[in-house]
Structure 1
Amino acid sequence: MKKRSLAMLLVAAALVLAAGTATAVTRGSPDITATLQDDTVAAGEEGTLEVVLVNKGDLDIGDQQNPSLNSEVTTARGLTVDIEDGKAPISVTTGTRSLGSLPTGSPTTTSFDISVDENAEPGTYNVPVELSYDYYSQISDGVRQQSSVTRTRTVTVTVSDDATFDVTNVDSNAQVGSSGTVAVTVENTGQTAANNSDVTLASQNGELTFGERTESTRSVDSWAPGESRTFRYDIAATDDAQVESYPFQLSVAFDNPDGVRKESATSSVSVTPDPEQTFSLSGVESSLRAGEEGTVAATVTNDGPRAVDNVVINWASDKSDLSPQETQVAVGDLAPGDSTDVSFTVDATDSAEAGTKQFDFVASYRNSEGDRAESDTLEAQAQVRPSQDEFSVDSANTTIGVGQSGNIQVTVTNTRNQTFSDITAKVFTSSPISADDDEAYIDELEPGESETITFSVSAEGSALQKGYPISLDFRYEEPDGDSSISDTYREEIKVTEPNDGGGLPLLVIGGVVLVLVLAVGGYMRFR
């Protein structure tokens, strides 16, 4: 019994040794299938065929101890794919595709651009797909045997008789920084009518949009074969848009004659906006002065590129000490290159600082779509001059004898650029000078106009022979109806020796009056 067990052990050991010296072989090949993601096309269509490839692999002899060798013999290496036209009414415009390695498992997709013949007959057609690749057909003791093969698979393409669409014209008046329209003309190039069609234009860039949306849709009930339709879409270009081509995609969803909802292939559409509408200011002039009413005037030019209607120039400056009486000046219509003059009347407060100031304006207008639009800010620089008195005063006949009275004449000139009216002049004196008639009136003074007024003043007998000051001011009405009081003007009255031709001195007259009073009193007492 023991001898038999020992013999069996020896046989088992021999078998193990024999197995260890046997040669390990892994053998197999790729097995690739080809299908189309969408196998339906239409006559006259330009589109793509999406070819889906799946490698199922074919393993003849596997290696349980080293499974990675199994995938080596089933992987296609250096895979290239080509589509032949065959007898299908299509033209393939894409060359050979190189995909690299394709292991088993997950599918991979490659696309080919095609165009379908205009007169293609509806039906199903076989299209050859040629696959070329290398693979390891066998691995034995680390030695890899490589093979190269070309396999042909067949996919089917169905040419439907559904409607197809072709963009034949694109016209746009879009403009940078403004709104406009895009008109797209589309032809039904298919063999059947399209019903309940929704034609969608989608922007591929945020600088040209349909208001707040990136796409817009137009609808048409019935669309016959060979019929062209024009669809208009409202579009807006931002201020950041450039004068360059922007891509759009147009697609049509429709019901075919069987009532089945279909979606056309997308068509590429490009839109190039015109340059932004611009204006310029030139010849800026200013008559502004602190404390006065003045004007800011300039020439406005439409720099194009388009004619604009109902142009209005708006005051856009925010200055508390410079206030326009009107904030808008209507200009009217301006063709490209046309110019017109505008002027704003401005009230400058007394606190307005003199110097060069910047003023901002904005041109608003109606564009080619009739929509109201605005220009960028138009900047201008203009001078504000320092304030000056409302009047200049020149006096005459300012000499009075001690104890005498007389008239002084004052010539008043309006130094502002506006007309003053209802002007009341008043003179103020202090002892020993007094005013017997301290007011004078001027009905109106236009800019630069002068008028002479007269006051009656007296010098007391106690006055010394020297100069004494008097003051004048003016109450007047401005053009807007406001009443104002001027600053105070000072003039000099010179007191001299009594003038013989000027009547009795006041002291002498007073003495004579006193003597007469006493004499009359005594007479009445002793009568």
Structure 2
Amino acid sequence: MRRTRLLPPCRAGGATKGIRRLVLCGILAGLFLCVLTGPVCGAGEAFVRSEPSLYATLSGTDEFVPGTDIRLDFVVENQGVDTEVLRELEYTVFTLNPTTALGTVAGLEVAGAPLSVQSEPYLIGDIPAGESRSFTAYAHVDENAPAGTCVLSVSADYHYAAAQHLLPSGEWQYTYEEKTVRLEVPVRIKGEVKPEILSLQAENLCPGQTGTITVSLKNAGYAKGTVAAAELTSLSGVFRLVDGGVFIGEFAPGAVTDVTFTAYVSDDASAGLYPEEVMIVYTDEHGEPQRSVSERTGVPVGAGASFAIVSGPVEIEPGETKAIRVMFRNTGDATAYDARARIVPGSPLSASVDTALLGDMAPNETKSADFTVKLASGSLEVPYGLNAEIKYRDARDTLILSDQIVQQVNGAAGNPVKDLLLNPVSLAVIVGIVLLAGYYLVTGRRKSR
């Protein structure tokens, strides 16, 4: 009987599994090799996962004062990480690093911050990973900017190599992507003392006089000033400040105080409103001296008290002594206190009563004064000018002498007989003639006897 030997089933199955394992390992090895040498094996696209990562910081101070023009020096750094390098893979010398920010254009944007940008974005160039580029921006901080931290936004526009593939010619071709990022940079707005003029009162500010300027000031800022003082600056040149600085002391936010400045007004100043500025000098919270922004205001200058004679001409005959009444009016815009009128006659006029009390004279008020004047005998029958002036006190009790004004006096034709009798020469001649006539009369009578 013929026997047939069969192979054990287990051994045949084991051989098949071994072959399958070898094939699978070969496939996996090939795939892994293709992954390692992807650009060469596939000769197609290999998508790069690395890209630039930009950050912005501020070089120098990050504290700014409201109402000022500022310079901002920014540093843009590329902190991108090449993930292929982390996996210890290397690009060929022909590849472009995907972490480089190419053609970067940087600029400052407002982004809700209390400032206005005064410069345009500009090109800062390529920024490889691990390197930085600088640029400068200019801005103006809003005068009403609140104290505290705010965030500035730096915009950065760039492109980078997002993918690459090898052409049959052996050259690399890149696929670029453009990107815009906004980088936040925190800054601090410092609180400051900011003067706000609530009201202004001027007293006795008239040409050639010393007056006062009282200003009601409020601290509209967000900082407390210590050892504070208010200063008045004359922009017009009309005022010479006698007391242009007034001590305040502590000036907290929202506080209101009245300060009074003393100033002399130029003699040739005209009535009107003149621009001046008020500022606060103070010590801040860090013990540093500071000067606030200036608050401009208009300071009024008045005409002061001025006078005119509103009575008509006075008629007087040569050789006559006459009591006259002169009407004075205050044509200015300030009250003259304790006013006294005085006439200053010139030849051929003279005065036996040359002063008169007028008292207080408000603007547009008219008062009369009585004087006694004489026109010399033999004077021509023509108009003469009788000079007058008024001495008075202003609101600060300063004694002031007005400019001279003129009262017209007309030399009038008198009665010839009266003039003859009143003229001493004529009277002497008449007396002589009478005496002589009497003498001859008496002598003639004696001879006739």
Instruction: Tell me the TM-score normalised to structure 2 length.
Output: 0.47
1 or 2 for the larger relative contact order (CA 8 Å, sep ≥6)?
A: 2
Structure whose residues are more often helix by fraction = 2
